[in-house]
Amino acid sequence: MNMAGDVVAGLHRLERAVLPLLEKLSSQEEIIKESGMQEVEVLHALHWLKNKGLCEVNETLFEVAELEENGAEYAKKGLPEKRFLEALKEKSLEMSELMKKAGLTKEELNASIGTLKSRNLITIGRGNETLFEITNEGRKANIPEQQLLQKLPAKTSELSQQEKKALEILKERKGIVKIAVKKAISARLTPQGRKAAADSAIKEKVVDRLTPEMIKSWESQKANLRSYNINAPVPEIFTGKKQPYRQFLDNVRKRFIGLGFKEMTGPIVESEFWNMDALFMPQFHSARDIHDAYYIKEPKYAEDLPMELVRRVKDAHEKGIAGSKGWRYSFNYRKTARLILRSHDTSISPRTLSSKELQIPGKYFQIARCFRYDVIDATHNADFDQIGGFVVGEGLNLKHLFGLLRLFAKEFCNTEQIRVAPSYFPFTEPSAALYAKHPQMGWIELAGAGIFRPEMTLPLGVEKPVIAWGIGLGRVAMFNLGLKDIRQLYSHDLEYLRNAKVL
Amino acid sequence: MPTISFSYRDFQQLLGKKLPIEEFKDLAILYAKAEVEEYNKEKDEAKMSLDDTNLPYMWCAEGLARFFRGVLGIEKGLPKFKTEESKYEIIVEPAVKKLRPSIASFIAEGKQIDKYLLEQLIQLQEKFCESYGRRRQKVSIGLYSHRKIKFPVHYKAALPESVKFEPLEMSEKLKLNEILEKHPKGRQYGWIIKEFERYPLLMDSNGEVLSLIPIINSNLTGRLAAGDKELMFEATGTDEEAVNLAANIFAQNLYERGFKISSVTINRDGKKTTTPHKFAEKTKISESDIEKLTGLKLSPAKTKELLERARYDVSGNTVTIPDYRRDILHPFDIIEDAAIMYGFNNIESEQLTSYTTGATTQMNEFADAIRGIATGLGFQEILSPILSNKAVLEEKMETTNTGIVEIENIMSETFSAARSWLTPIMLEVLSKNMHNDFPQRIFEQGTATTRKGNRISDSEKIALATSHTNADFTEIKQCLNVLMKSLGLNYALAQLNHPSFITGRCGTIKAKGKEIGIIGEVSPKVLTNWQLEMPVSAMEIDLTELKRIISTS
């Protein structure tokens, strides 16, 4: 098949109809008339042919005077002044008779009187202010505006001087005519188009869609299936997709499971006991101000606290335990039962540590939605996700903690370049911060960790050392998802969600 | 986390050594749980944030310099400190015992207090009182021009209307209760003493009020100015140890700047003590504890060297804690300091060797499977904040009593409650996407929190919503069919009149006789409330309940 043949094979039914006509014709109007096709069909065909380089399309703008709603009506039943005159042709009339006969409203009547009088087409009866009479000029008169109306729509450039004047007058009146700007389209074959038009294959009947009927009768009756432009754009569809940040969290979860960690969960509404007291954070601690947590309006107090455990925690706070002085203050039972929205994910750890299900040695993690009393902006959300957990086992010490941090840097930042620095958490001693050099982001603070204080773990019934850790992946998530504003992690914008990369 | 600023030149002077700022930035992170946030070379101003909320002595240039003199080996062991005995006395009257019993004081003199030092003193005073002092409730601190005060000073309590004085920043004498109402500090801190019958105050032997405790000093004696050569320090509070700690930290700082520190006798009914208080606390640590916690085998000599760098005194296995520290509860606290001085990055890491199997929870596994079905149905997943509000959850849904758990101390109305169900969130999402292409099919799986009586519980839910010109009951029921078939579970629908949905086009979803959810076409009224112009049909299923049914069947 030659090049022209290739081109012809891909031509649509409409293109095949229009292309040969262009050998003789050029304007869209003529083509429509000649082919009997719809205007939009011809337009499509010309557009496609142009894209294939088979014709050039020229567009020129021109003005058309068109009828508006009132104009269309007047074209049919006559302008008010026209009807006014017609009604008087038989005999002079009183105003009320006239209005009735000519079908005029008061407004139309008044407007017509002005126009007709100024042109001397009527007179108003002497002595009787409401008697109207037609003049001789009136009987002969043609109203040019009416004549113009009958002629519309029309190109303004094709109107006579008189018609143009009538048009100006009608334009002043409401809802009668408007000027629309239209496109005149004409096309001319390119040399390639001429070749294609001359190709006999263009006469062949082609089929767009393969139907079940065609398949059934294929052996006896093969159809000519048109080639497609496979590069042509297609309409968009929207499929079911996971939310990008949730998927990021899903992947984090998979990593932890792969590393041998078990997932923990805990309630969103927590007592201060699990959120803070069970972590050996004294009730007077500065992080426990009303301004740091959201307090529940109703009910205010938990009724299901494990009281024996609460007493052991209370003793550790007040008097210390196993070589500790304790915080030496009076522990408040009411405060420990106060309900809040959990302010950090570590609230889940003491629940697991004191549970019968705890396995030693054991590795645990949680991905927990937490809430902190904070002004919301590009770096602070009312909700945020924390990822953390603990490792419990015989003989664990600071060296294992560092080993764990090294592992996290490798897993979540793909780096072995790390720095460990001392840090402070009320419930761990020692405490450390992990800085890791992310391949693209540079040095970031990736994790905080420590060994749970014995004052915390002993009352919970755990005698083995427990390494606690929390990993901050918010920045990594935003980096991976290309986000600048933390609020976009929970974006409600469908356009963003539909177009987000699946990592 | 406190942040402070100071002159870096001053810091280096206190350190006794030139230290390039870049080196200091590293050292701060590696040793001091602190970070240099900013250094303005022109103004010679370093801004730092301090991580350890339990170590207020580090919240100033003096404390940081003292610490780094140890780190860098310029000094070791307990820092030098000396007080002169004096005749200065504060008489504590019994009336304050129930209000604010503790007080500590000292006099510092012999050097000029310049503008910078004054700013530094006030900075530490503010940081200490706000954070460690629990916004002055636990500890508050006052600084006075010493020469204007006639000792002995009386720490007493007075009826609010019985005493008048001119507080700082005001030019008229006010009664104590008027100060609480009119003075900015009175309005800020008045809550601490407001309920008392008598207010605590300090008065000298001329009958002049020094201070309304813990609100504001007097103009006459309580204004320390640049150029003064002596000052009186006092701290009062509800916690004896914290009050003494405040005095010890300030006294140590001023001593190291070359001031002579004189002690003040605190006289309680003839029972006399002197402040600054010598805690001289000792703790024993053992090599086995060090190894147990850090994995390091340290010789006694090495341990001694490390702890002396951390400014402890060590004799045998007995460690003496500096009097400006009260954060040591357990020997582990001291061992951590040894490990820090050893250098965290010099401690080799060890891999965890014990074998454990990883797993998510059964609930999460179940929820993930359901999410898979929902995306397979062509629904876009949404993830929203859990915090929402009553207007979204109930008012716009034309419903009530969904069991909303509300927040008492809200930050913004938008986030004033935990979400009780997820369907309203789906409508909220749709309402924000009127300009985007239809059909819009969305779902969210997540936690909803509800209250029944005094019980609050979480449940995992999933809500699906479809919106386009032809969205109807049939479509959403087709989705429900797919979901339930995938779970191999039969279900039934029971007609339900729910104000959020069109009557006759809404039902309760039941499986094994248990209610597990709701399905229907959203009512035009609700759509209008959300300014939605497209039909929406939706369903919401309680996955916690659904899973329970499946695992018991």
CATH no. for residue B333?
Answer: 3.30.56.10
Q: How many CB pairs under 8 A join A and B?
A: 264
Taking each helix axis as running N to C, give the angle between helix A28-35 and helix A13-21, from 0 to 180 degrees, rounded to the nearest 10: 110
Pick the residue from chain A with its C-alpha nearest to B238.
A329
**Domain assignment present for B336:** yes
CA distance B48 to B5: 6
Per-residue pLDDT of B81-106, as tens digits, reads 999 999 999 999 999 999 999 999 99
- Cα distances (Å, whole numbers) of residue B495 to B400, B498, B510: 19, 9, 11
- A200 Cβ contact partners less than 8 Å away, ≥ 6 residues apart: none
CATH number of B457's domain: 3.30.930.10
Claim to verify: residue B44 and residue B120 sit in the same structural domain: no
Angle made by CA atoms A213, A214, A215, in degrees to the nearest 5: 90
Q: How far is B328 from chain A (nearest CA, A)?
A: 8
Below-50 pLDDT ranges, chain A:
1-2
Task: Tell me what the mean pLDDT of segment B250-259 comes to.
Answer: 97
Only one residue has tokens 């582990």, namely B332
Only one residue has tokens 């408040």, namely A332
The whole-number pLDDT of residue A475 equals 85
The whole-number pLDDT of residue A4 equals 55
CATH number of B96's domain: 3.50.40.10
ipTM: 0.92
Q: How far is B5 from chain A (nearest CA, A)?
A: 20
**Contact at CB, A299 and B134, closer than 8 angstroms:** no
Only one residue has tokens 């006010």, namely B174
**Domain assignment present for B190:** yes
**CB contact, 8 Å: B350 with chain A?**
yes
Pick the residue from chain B with its C-alpha nearest to A423.
B33
Claim to verify: residue B239 and residue B311 sit in the same structural domain: no
Structure tokens at B281: 């606390």
CA-based torsion, A249, A251, A256, A262: positive or negative: positive
Strands (DSSP E) found in A128-212: 131-134, 154-155, 177-189
Q: Are B360 and A438 in contact (CB under 8 A)?
A: no
The whole-number pLDDT of residue B208 equals 93
**A267 cis-preceded (ω within 30 degrees of 0):** no
CA-based torsion, A287, A291, A294, A296: positive or negative: positive
> Looking at residue B348, what DSSP letter applies?
P
**Contact at CB, A296 and B408, closer than 8 angstroms:** yes
Amino acid making up residue B152: P
Claim to verify: residue B287 and residue B262 sit in the same structural domain: no
Q: Are B358 and A259 in contact (CB under 8 A)?
A: yes
Check pLDDT > 60 for residue B138: yes
The whole-number pLDDT of residue A127 equals 61
Task: Tell me what the mean pLDDT of segment B214-222 comes to.
Answer: 92
Structure tokens at A24: 């003789």
**Domain assignment present for B316:** yes
Of B352, B381, B437, the CB nearest to A243: B381
Of B291, B345, B375, the CB nearest to A241: B375
For residue B412, the enclosing domain spans 362-552
**Contact at CB, B295 and A397, closer than 8 angstroms:** yes
Taking each helix axis as running N to C, give the angle between helix B473-486 and helix B362-376, from 0 to 180 degrees, rounded to the nearest 10: 140
In chain A the domains, ranked by start, together with CATH numbers, are 3-59+181-216 (1.10.10.10), 67-179 (1.10.10.10), 246-499 (3.30.930.10)
**Contact at CB, A269 and B356, closer than 8 angstroms:** no
Domain boundary (B275, B305, B321) is at: B275
Claim to verify: residue B330 and residue B454 sit in the same structural domain: no
Structure tokens at A358: 């705890």
Q: How many residues does chain B have?
A: 553
Give strand pairing partners of B274: B265
Pick the residue from chain B with its C-alpha nearest to A425.
B52
**CB contact, 8 Å: B371 with chain A?**
yes
Which residue of B68, B296, B380, B464 to mutate against A (max A Cβ within 10 Å)?
B380
**CB contact, 8 Å: B188 with chain A?**
no
Q: Are B545 and B370 in contact (CB under 8 A)?
A: no
Per-residue pLDDT of A273-319, as tens digits, reads 999 999 999 998 877 766 689 999 999 999 999 999 999 999 999 99
Task: Tell me what the mean pLDDT of segment B151-170 comes to.
Answer: 94
Q: How far is B283 from chain A (nearest CA, A)?
A: 10
**Domain assignment present for B8:** yes
**Domain assignment present for B79:** no
Domain boundary (B275, B294, B319) is at: B275
Binding-face residues of B in 240-299 toward A, CB within 8 A: 241, 291-296
Nearest to B262 by CA among B271, B274, B279, B272: B274
Binding-face residues of B in 123-142 toward A, CB within 8 A: 131-132, 134, 138
Amino acid making up residue A46: L
Structure tokens at B389: 């509000």
Task: Tell me what the mean pLDDT of segment B161-165 comes to.
Answer: 93
Claim to verify: residue B117 and residue B256 sit in the same structural domain: yes
Dihedral class, residue B73 (left if φ above 0, else alpha if ψ from -120 to 50, else beta)? left
Set of chain A residues whose Cβ sits within 8 Å of the Cβ of B385: 381-383, 490
Of B132, B293, B376, the CB nearest to A398: B293
Burial profile A474-487: b = 16 or more Cβ within 10 angstroms, e = fewer: bebbbebbebeebb
Q: Are B493 and B519 in contact (CB under 8 A)?
A: yes
Claim to verify: residue B194 and residue B297 sit in the same structural domain: no
Q: How many residues does chain A have?
A: 503
Q: Are A465 and B332 in contact (CB under 8 A)?
A: no
Check pLDDT > 60 for residue B269: yes
**CB contact, 8 Å: B489 with chain A?**
no
Return the SS3 of A434: strand
Taking each helix axis as running N to C, give the angle between helix B115-127 and helix B240-256, from 0 to 180 degrees, rounded to the nearest 10: 160
Q: Are B391 and B422 in contact (CB under 8 A)?
A: no
Q: Which residue has the higher pLDDT, A339 or B223?
A: A339
Check pLDDT > 90 for residue B442: yes
**Domain assignment present for B143:** yes
Q: How far is A428 from chain B (nearest CA, A)?
A: 10
**CB contact, 8 Å: B339 with chain A?**
yes
Q: Are B465 and B453 in contact (CB under 8 A)?
A: no
Q: Which residue has the higher pLDDT, B132 or A128?
A: B132
Return the SS3 of B228: coil
The whole-number pLDDT of residue A1 equals 41
Pick the residue from chain A with its C-alpha nearest to B290.
A397
CA R_g for chain B: 33
Of A269, A455, A494, the CB nearest to B456: A269
The whole-number pLDDT of residue A97 equals 82
Which residue of A397, A417, A423 to mutate against B (max B Cβ within 10 Å)?
A397
Angle made by CA atoms B118, B120, B125, in degrees to the nearest 5: 95
Of A24-33, A410-419, B60-69, B361-370, the poorest mean pLDDT is in A24-33
Dihedral class, residue A367 (left if φ above 0, else alpha if ψ from -120 to 50, else beta)? beta
Q: How far is B4 from chain A (nearest CA, A)?
A: 17
Which residue of A249, A285, A290, A297 to mutate against B (max B Cβ within 10 Å)?
A297
pLDDT band at B143 (very low <50, low <70, confident <90, very high): very high
Pick the residue from chain A with its C-alpha nearest to B281.
A325
Of A241, A295, A326, the CB nearest to B329: A326
For residue A353, the tally of other CB atoms under 10 A from its CB is 24
Set of chain A residues whose Cβ sits within 8 Å of the Cβ of B294: 397-399, 430
**CB contact, 8 Å: B30 with chain A?**
yes
**CB contact, 8 Å: B177 with chain A?**
no
Pick the residue from chain B with its C-alpha nearest to A407.
B351
- B78 Cβ contact partners less than 8 Å away, ≥ 6 residues apart: B311, B312, B313, B320, B322
Claim to verify: residue B206 and residue B234 sit in the same structural domain: yes
**Contact at CB, B358 and A498, closer than 8 angstroms:** no
The whole-number pLDDT of residue A5 equals 62
Set of chain A residues whose Cβ sits within 8 Å of the Cβ of B59: none
Claim to verify: residue B420 and residue B460 sit in the same structural domain: yes
**Domain assignment present for B197:** yes
Claim to verify: residue B140 and residue B254 sit in the same structural domain: yes
Return the SS3 of B458: strand
Which residue of B317, B350, B371, B468 to mutate against A (max A Cβ within 10 Å)?
B350
Amino acid making up residue B371: R
Claim to verify: residue B390 and residue B481 sit in the same structural domain: yes
Set of chain A residues whose Cβ sits within 8 Å of the Cβ of B131: 286
Of A263, A419, A431, the CB nearest to B360: A263
Task: Tell me what the mean pLDDT of segment B444-471 comes to.
Answer: 96
SS (H, E, C) B3-38: EEEEEHHHHHHHHCCCCCHHHHHHHHHHHCCEEEEE
Set of chain B residues whose Cβ sits within 8 Å of the Cβ of A429: 330, 332-333, 336
Claim to verify: residue B448 and residue B519 sit in the same structural domain: yes
CA distance B496 to B482: 22
For residue B10, the tally of other CB atoms under 10 A from its CB is 18
Set of chain A residues whose Cβ sits within 8 Å of the Cβ of B416: none
Structure tokens at B152: 């002995």
Q: Are A423 and A450 in contact (CB under 8 A)?
A: yes
**Domain assignment present for B355:** no
This prediction has a pTM of 0.81
Q: Are A54 and A193 in contact (CB under 8 A)?
A: yes
What share of chain B has pLDDT > 90, as a percent?
Answer: 94
**B331 cis-preceded (ω within 30 degrees of 0):** no
For residue B181, the tally of other CB atoms under 10 A from its CB is 11
Amino acid making up residue B104: A
Nearest to A46 by CA among A60, A38, A57, A35: A57
- A312 Cβ contact partners less than 8 Å away, ≥ 6 residues apart: A459, A460
Nearest to B541 by CA among B440, B465, B431, B475: B465
**Contact at CB, A430 and B339, closer than 8 angstroms:** yes
Set of chain B residues whose Cβ sits within 8 Å of the Cβ of A399: 294-295, 347-350
**Contact at CB, B330 and A391, closer than 8 angstroms:** no
Per-residue pLDDT of A51-71, as tens digits, reads 989 999 998 898 888 888 888
* Domain count for chain B: 4
Q: How far is B217 from chain A (nearest CA, A)?
A: 25
pLDDT band at B266 (very low <50, low <70, confident <90, very high): very high
Set of chain B residues whose Cβ sits within 8 Å of the Cβ of A494: 380, 429, 433, 436, 440, 442
Claim to verify: residue B51 and residue B108 sit in the same structural domain: no
